[in-house]
Structure 1
């Protein structure tokens, strides 16, 4: 049976992170993941994980200065010190709470120098955290115009340039569908390089049983690849999270 992870960046946003973890357990999720947990002491997050028996699959590096519109730092030329500080903070938090992965956010940038900067910072992260999986995620240009990493092809080139076995692709079915389409074929092709899979309805990014993507077929294809880790439910509920969870019974 397909396992699911609740992405607490979008689900139960109305609750403090420890309470959101408890809500995910009550709803029947197999794991949790989050975006930026840093406002909550890691010890409080760990306590909620220990209480529920859930694992935090991953978290993101800091977006940077959000008031200036930043959305990640690791591909920004000239911001290496800030990027590496964000990487070290994410690694420390992940280790404290027993998280398995860190998503290294690239940020808004373009060009060869941004590519070199991203690769250098990823290699730094891989050396600093050989015990963790480091994820890079293409974001579609509709939701994140100007984001450095936009396609799975670009991501694979970066992973190959890094030559670090713990750097993997975050395959978000929503972003891939919006940018590239043919989600199942891309999953099958890229399977060896994937470190985590996420999903949401297309094009709304709402619940996965609404929209263009047949997630029954997608989840079946993922299962046939031998994938057994929880899939990340990273969608935006239209209203109350608990009221949006009917798909957990129908898409299995």
Structure 2
């Protein structure tokens, strides 16, 4: 049976992160993850995690200071900013006991030097991660939600990991983004299983609760488990109404 993580970047957004952690525990999630928690007191977050016993799976590097930034690490000429964001993310993650950082590439599709810049910054991220015993995640996104984003497609992520050649670097396999851009989720997951560090889900195309649309998660998730995936499944969706009003999918998937 899958173990589910609440992505608190989308769930319980009307409260502070420590209280959202407590709410996720109360309704039965087994882990939590977040997006950009930097304005939250790290001591209070760590205390809430200790109180509930929930692991914090990961957080994102900052988007960047400029309007339109959606990550910095593939942007030539902004290496100093990108590495500062990486260092900040791992320092905050270590302070709260997180296990991974998603290093955001940014909107650099078609930009000369973007691939080399991204890979060099990922080497830096892996060096920092190794010092903390943490993982670096890269996530292919879709261009409907993130126009111009550099990293699109699981195979592109896999080729980057091969070139960087570091064990700390893994793929965030977001089923929502991958279904929109590529489809064939089960076979694509199977082909790259050894490189996948985390899985996320949401309905396609609505990005709402994972109980509608193109992807039958009650069919897919047990098959990912049969392929050897025993990590958490991140619920990274935008609730149709309130978070708790839409949690019926969680009980149904656990009883399937």
Q: Which residue of 1 aligns with 2:144?
A: 142
1:212 offset after TM fit, Å? 1.1
| CA distance in 2: counterparts of 1:248 and 1:21, whole angstroms | 17
Question: 1:75-86 maps to which residues of 2 (within 5 A)?
Answer: 75-86=74-85
Q: Which residue of 2 aligns with 1:97?
A: 96
Q: Which residue of 2 aligns with 1:51?
A: 51
| CA distance in 2: counterparts of 1:218 and 1:161, whole angstroms | 30
1:164 offset after TM fit, Å? 0.6
Select which of 172, 177, 183 maps to 2:179.
Answer: 177
Which runs of no fewer than 5 residues in structure 1 stay unpaired? none
Summarize the Cα distance change of 1:155–1:112 in structure 2 as closer, same or farther, 3 Å threshold: farther
Q: Which residue of 2 aligns with 1:6?
A: 6
Q: Which residue of 1 aligns with 2:86?
A: 87
Q: Which residue of 2 aligns with 1:28?
A: 28
| CA distance in 2: counterparts of 1:81 and 1:148, whole angstroms | 18
SS at structure 1 position matched to 2:75: coil
1:230 offset after TM fit, Å? 1.2
Structure 1 length-normalised TM: 0.98
| CA distance in 2: counterparts of 1:81 and 1:220, whole angstroms | 42
1:118 offset after TM fit, Å? 0.2
1:112 offset after TM fit, Å? 4.4
Does the 8 Å contact 1:58/1:102 carry over to 2?
yes
Select which of 240, 243, 247 maps to 1:241.
Answer: 243
Which runs of no fewer than 5 residues in structure 2 stay unpaired? none
| CA distance in 2: counterparts of 1:239 and 1:27, whole angstroms | 17
Question: 1:155-170 maps to which residues of 2 (within 5 A)?
Answer: 155-170=157-172
Instruction: Compare 123-132 and 83-92 and name the one that shifted more.
Output: 123-132
1:16 offset after TM fit, Å? 0.7
Structure 2 length-normalised TM: 0.96
1:122 offset after TM fit, Å? 0.2
| CA distance in 1: counterparts of 2:184 and 2:228, whole angstroms | 20
Question: 4+ residue stretches of structure 1 with deviation over 6 A?
Answer: none
Q: Which residue of 2 aligns with 1:65?
A: 65
1:185 offset after TM fit, Å? 1.0
| CA distance in 2: counterparts of 1:193 and 1:112, whole angstroms | 27
For the aligned residues, what is the CA RMSD?
Answer: 0.9
| CA distance in 1: counterparts of 2:115 and 2:238, whole angstroms | 31
- Number of residue pairs the alignment of both structures matches: 251
| CA distance in 1: counterparts of 2:122 and 2:12, whole angstroms | 31
State yes or no: 1:128 paired with 2:128: yes
State yes or no: 1:218 paired with 2:220: yes
Q: Which residue of 2 aligns with 1:107?
A: 106
| CA distance in 1: counterparts of 2:183 and 2:166, whole angstroms | 28
